[in-house]
A and B are shown apart, each in its own frame.
Chain A
């Protein structure tokens, strides 16, 4: 799958940041929004382009929670587990979604690459706790049942994200 990757986009992104090693994080963020994850070959490419070691790039990529070295699903569902959401019972929502999709703490993405379920640190929407996001769109005052309903809407294409 990686063979077909397009390096032109990576080249464009590198140039947009003037090939500055200090822009590594921003570059990887753009790479990730372009390719939906950080493909190994692209990381090699940007390491060479920035003249830093690939171990350093890997090191930075694995430090930050938002970077993914594996492809994510079409819909990335992130359940907020900030304090406010936690005390308003966000974990049962996570459990319900995982059960429905056959996912676990180890397996985050469904085999059909449709859904990725993860937790996220506080989204700052504490007033509406518990919340979850689907590809950055916030859904508030969730319950396990509402979450499953949302999942079905996504599957049927009723809800776009």
Chain B
């Protein structure tokens, strides 16, 4: 890695290992504009907004320049401004301009830069061809008319998720981004992870919204609206309101939801505790029965979709446990059925999730009973923050409130589900015979924590040494599967989360990069640290549920068989 001093707009700036000049410029506090640059993806170099001028008057894109000692560049000369304006004008000429009614209004990069550069006039004729919207995915909405062809979605789909569902098609001025043969997303292997929407600078790919339906339910006096909040949401939603990533704002969120008119607010952490119980016992059963191994976790619906569509041979290896959201949803619906008989209020279960694939999961046939979904609506962290803003609530100033009883109690093991490694750690806690604090520390440091893409741990359960792997990013998971296929590695348990960082990096969260993901994970570990109950089996609610609503139909409510397995 190179080190040295360069001169940016006359200022001395030290660089040390930055991968390109753009990173050095941003380090120097200059917000150089970009559309196609994401530090975590490969450098594409197509938008040409980040151009800088060198000493000889040459113009180059800073995203693809190596910093050199003594290098002198300027970032904002008259020529550069002229070119940036022209590029913006060209992009706007090929783009729809109904900003005020756009889903992305206020968060659109194109809008932001057009404002920043004072684009007031488009001198080119509107010769755009109109394209049909793709509304077939339960998770995302594709509007090709708003696409600026930066390719961020293509790269994230391929490089991070290894799916390659969308790609460039045709070329030149006919260039488009689409699935093969311009199919609808519902006819593809799209896993609904929504990462394409998370990186899209404009409104070309957005998350399917359920805000309207949610409001309708909340405002309907004949309905009992029950909300469950996933662990990862609490450490990220504050970012939408100017708070730090990782700050646990569960209490404020509960208060906000109550102000909005939600009847009951529960914690999906309890669902996670159920999952730990079920998954651990399934795992132990597999150990008794000799497999099949590795057992894969099933909490991540995007991962489950991947196995179903592209790697069916591993279907028997996927845990039969429903995800915490669905376990909890089924339990809630079963519980409130009895209540409905009393006051006639139908239960509407809304899940607030960091995830867009959950929207698809909620609609799956398997999770319907008596023709009704166990989860009625899934709202992302971003959607719920929009609703909070709509309601005029000053989130930052809210007094914390506690979740409702009886389903408001979760363990520390359940709360860490929201980060990569959390599920594995919680299951290890459950499986290990020793139940003391030292053991907890030992598990903490066994290797499942942290942001490495593939983490390995060996733990002893009873007589057995068990090999566990934790992987996040579906591309990394696919690479790991290839190694398993090739016999290079073998594990007993593999935790897979499709998004980087696990649920905290879900596409429903406020946009965040590595630093935010790290802070959010830390927020969850802090919550675990503070919680009185560290292990799922110690959660008194769990026993109450097993002896109550789950007593008769535990398997039906908590398990599922994915894919076409018999």
Say yes or no: B171 contacts A55, CB within 8 Å.
Answer: no
B169 at the interface (CB under 8 A from A): yes
Q: Which of B166, B169, B178, B181 is in CB contact (< 8 Å) with A40?
A: B181
Shortest distance from the beta carbon of A69 to any chain B beta carbon, whole Å: 8
Say yes or no: B180 contacts A63, CB within 8 Å.
Answer: no
What are 17 inter-chain pairs, A to B, with CB distance below 8 A? A52-B164, A53-B163, A54-B180, A55-B165, A55-B166, A55-B167, A56-B167, A58-B169, A58-B181, A59-B167, A59-B169, A59-B180, A62-B169, A62-B170, A62-B171, A63-B168, A63-B170
Write out the residue numbers on chain A whose beta carbons fall within 8 Å of the beta carbon of B168. 59, 63
Shortest distance from the beta carbon of B536 to any chain A beta carbon, whole Å: 38
Say yes or no: A53 contacts B165, CB within 8 Å.
Answer: yes
- Report A43-73 CB contacts with B as 1/0, cut-off 8 Å: 1000000001111111100110000000000
Shortest distance from the beta carbon of B186 to any chain A beta carbon, whole Å: 15
Q: A57-B180, A58-B181 are in contact. Are A63 and B167 (CB under 8 A)?
A: no
Q: In whole angstroms, how far apart are the Cα atoms of A62 and B182 in the complex?
A: 11
Say yes or no: B180 contacts A55, CB within 8 Å.
Answer: yes
Say yes or no: B164 contacts A58, CB within 8 Å.
Answer: no
What's the dominant secondary structure at chain A's contact region? helix
Shortest distance from the beta carbon of A87 to any chain B beta carbon, whole Å: 24
Say yes or no: A63 contacts B181, CB within 8 Å.
Answer: no
B502 at the interface (CB under 8 A from A): no
A59 to chain B: closest residue by CB: B167
B179 at the interface (CB under 8 A from A): yes
- Report B160-196 CB contacts with A as 1/0, cut-off 8 Å: 0001111111110000001111000000100000000
B189 to chain A: closest residue by CB: A53
Shortest distance from the beta carbon of A64 to any chain B beta carbon, whole Å: 8
Q: In whole angstroms, how far apart are the Cα atoms of A58 and B164 in the complex?
A: 11
Residues of A within 8 A of B (CB): 40, 43, 52-59, 62-63
Shortest distance from the beta carbon of B153 to any chain A beta carbon, whole Å: 11
Write out the residue numbers on chain B whose beta carbons fall within 8 Å of the beta carbon of A40. 181
* Residues of chain B at interface, number, CB under 8 A: 15
Shortest distance from the beta carbon of B352 to any chain A beta carbon, whole Å: 32
Contacts beyond the supplied A55-B165, A55-B188, A59-B167: 8 A-B pairs with Cβ under 8 Å: A40-B181, A53-B165, A55-B166, A55-B167, A58-B180, A59-B169, A63-B170, A63-B171
Shortest distance from the beta carbon of A56 to any chain B beta carbon, whole Å: 5
Q: In whole angstroms, how far apart are the Cα atoms of A59 and B177 in the complex?
A: 9
Q: In whole angstroms, how far apart are the Cα atoms of A159 and B169 in the complex?
A: 38
B171 to chain A: closest residue by CB: A63
B310 to chain A: closest residue by CB: A53
Write out the residue numbers on chain A whose beta carbons fall within 8 Å of the beta carbon of B188. 55
Q: In whole angstroms, how far apart are the Cα atoms of A15 and B381 in the complex?
A: 49
Q: Which of A40, A43, A52, A56 has the most CB of B within 10 A?
A: A56
User: A-B pairs with the 6 shortest C-beta distances?
Assistant: A53-B164, A58-B180, A59-B167, A55-B167, A54-B180, A55-B180
Residues of B within 8 A of A (CB): 158, 163-171, 178-181, 188
B165 to chain A: closest residue by CB: A55
Write out the residue numbers on chain B whose beta carbons fall within 8 Å of the beta carbon of A62. 169-171
Q: In whole angstroms, how far apart are the Cα atoms of A91 and B163 in the complex?
A: 44
Write out the residue numbers on chain A whose beta carbons fall within 8 Å of the beta carbon of B163. 53
Q: In whole angstroms, how far apart are the Cα atoms of A126 and B170 in the complex?
A: 28
Shortest distance from the beta carbon of A42 to any chain B beta carbon, whole Å: 13
Shortest distance from the beta carbon of B521 to any chain A beta carbon, whole Å: 30
Q: In whole angstroms, how far apart are the Cα atoms of A158 and B145 in the complex?
A: 50
Shortest distance from the beta carbon of A68 to any chain B beta carbon, whole Å: 13
Q: In whole angstroms, how far apart are the Cα atoms of A63 and B171 in the complex?
A: 6
Write out the residue numbers on chain B whose beta carbons fall within 8 Å of the beta carbon of A56. 164, 167
A60 to chain B: closest residue by CB: B167
A63 to chain B: closest residue by CB: B171
Shortest distance from the beta carbon of B182 to any chain A beta carbon, whole Å: 9
Shortest distance from the beta carbon of A108 to any chain B beta carbon, whole Å: 15
Q: In whole angstroms, how far apart are the Cα atoms of A57 and B168 in the complex?
A: 10
Say yes or no: A58 contacts B167, CB within 8 Å.
Answer: yes
Write out the residue numbers on chain B whose beta carbons fall within 8 Å of the beta carbon of A58. 167, 169, 180-181
Q: In whole angstroms, how far apart are the Cα atoms of A59 and B168 in the complex?
A: 6
Write out the residue numbers on chain A whose beta carbons fall within 8 Å of the beta carbon of B166. 55
Shortest distance from the beta carbon of A66 to any chain B beta carbon, whole Å: 13
Q: In whole angstroms, how far apart are the Cα atoms of A59 and B179 in the complex?
A: 9
Say yes or no: A53 contacts B167, CB within 8 Å.
Answer: yes
A69 to chain B: closest residue by CB: B181
A54 to chain B: closest residue by CB: B180
Shortest distance from the beta carbon of A119 to any chain B beta carbon, whole Å: 15
A43 to chain B: closest residue by CB: B180
Say yes or no: A55 contacts B170, CB within 8 Å.
Answer: no
Write out the residue numbers on chain A whose beta carbons fall within 8 Å of the beta carbon of B167. 53, 55-56, 58-59
Shortest distance from the beta carbon of B193 to any chain A beta carbon, whole Å: 15
A53 to chain B: closest residue by CB: B164
Q: In whole angstroms, how far apart are the Cα atoms of A62 and B188 in the complex?
A: 18
Q: In whole angstroms, how far apart are the Cα atoms of A55 and B164 in the complex?
A: 6
Shortest distance from the beta carbon of A47 to any chain B beta carbon, whole Å: 8
Write out the residue numbers on chain A whose beta carbons fall within 8 Å of the beta carbon of B179. 55
Q: In whole angstroms, how far apart are the Cα atoms of A56 and B169 in the complex?
A: 9
Q: Which of B165, B169, B178 has the most CB of A within 10 A?
A: B169
Q: In whole angstroms, how far apart are the Cα atoms of A59 and B164 in the complex?
A: 11
Shortest distance from the beta carbon of B482 to any chain A beta carbon, whole Å: 10
Shortest distance from the beta carbon of B164 to any chain A beta carbon, whole Å: 3
B164 to chain A: closest residue by CB: A53
Shortest distance from the beta carbon of A105 to any chain B beta carbon, whole Å: 13
Q: In whole angstroms, how far apart are the Cα atoms of A7 and B451 in the complex?
A: 45
Shortest distance from the beta carbon of A63 to any chain B beta carbon, whole Å: 5
Shortest distance from the beta carbon of B165 to any chain A beta carbon, whole Å: 6
Shortest distance from the beta carbon of A41 to any chain B beta carbon, whole Å: 11
Write out the residue numbers on chain A whose beta carbons fall within 8 Å of the beta carbon of B158. 53
A40 to chain B: closest residue by CB: B181
Shortest distance from the beta carbon of A3 to any chain B beta carbon, whole Å: 17
Q: In whole angstroms, how far apart are the Cα atoms of A56 and B168 in the complex?
A: 8
Q: In whole angstroms, how far apart are the Cα atoms of A57 and B170 in the complex?
A: 12
Q: Which of B167, B178, B180 has the most CB of A within 10 A?
A: B180
Write out the residue numbers on chain B whose beta carbons fall within 8 Å of the beta carbon of A57. 180
Shortest distance from the beta carbon of A52 to any chain B beta carbon, whole Å: 7
Shortest distance from the beta carbon of B245 to any chain A beta carbon, whole Å: 33
